[in-house]
Amino acid sequence: MPSKIILCVVHGKTGRLARLNFTQLCTSEREPEVRLALRIRYKKKLNHRLLNEHVHKLCYNVLVYDQC
């Protein structure tokens, strides 16, 4: 079975990566966190809902915790 294509909301890029490399924004606390961080760091404004969207784990950590 081919792996599902998942879109990282940070890059806006899809990847055929394993699900374990991704984290899902499944809580409503994480959504504004990511939205705000994207605005500040990438000057990127997302209008669609981020809830239940996927982000690379690495992207999420860099974005929210400022770690690499």
In the bound state with Zn ion, the residue whose beta carbon lies nearer, of 23 and 29, is 23
**Residue 54 in contact with Zn ion, rule: CB under 5 A:** no
Tell me which amino acid residue 35 is.
Answer: R
Give the phi and the psi of residue 27 in degrees, each rounded to 5.
Answer: -115, 150
Q: Are 34 and 25 in contact (CB under 8 A)?
A: yes
Helix (H) or strand (E) holding 30: helix 30-42
Binding map of Zn ion across residues 8-47, x = CB under 5 A, - = no contact = x-xx------------------------------------
> Contact residues for Zn ion (CB under 5 A)?
8, 10-11, 56, 59
